[in-house]
Structure 1
Amino acid sequence: MPEVREATLDLDGTTLSYEECSGAGPAIVGLHGLGSSRAADDASGYFDWSALTTSGRRLVRYDARGHGRSTGRPVPAEYAWPHLADDLLALLDAISPNEPVDAFGASMGVGTLLHAVIKRPDRFRRLALIIPPTAWESRAAQSANYQQIAALLREHGIAALTAATASRPPLPILEAGGWTITPPDIDGSIMADVMLGASDTDLPAAEAIKTIQQPVLLRPWTDDPAHPLATSERLHELLPNAVIEIQRTPDDLRALGTRLATYFD
Structure 2
Amino acid sequence: MNGQIFQILVIALNGNALCEGHSIERFGPDSSAFMFEHETTFHELDRTQPEEQWTKIFTSPKSWLDSGRQECCGYRVHFVSRDVEGIPDRSSSAFAGGGSRWLLEQVHDGSSSLWESSLELTHPDAPNRRIWSTRYHCIEPTWTGNWPAHEIQMIRAEFRLALEQIRAFAASIDSGFSSNFESAIDQLDAKKPAQFVWNQNALPDGLGISLEARQLLAAAQKAWVFGGMGSWNDLYLPDQDIQANYDRVSSSLFTALQNALVCAVNSTCSCD
Q: Quickly name the TM-score band, shorter chain normalised.
A: under 0.3
Rg larger in structure: 2
TM-score (ref. length: structure 1): 0.25
More helix by share: 1
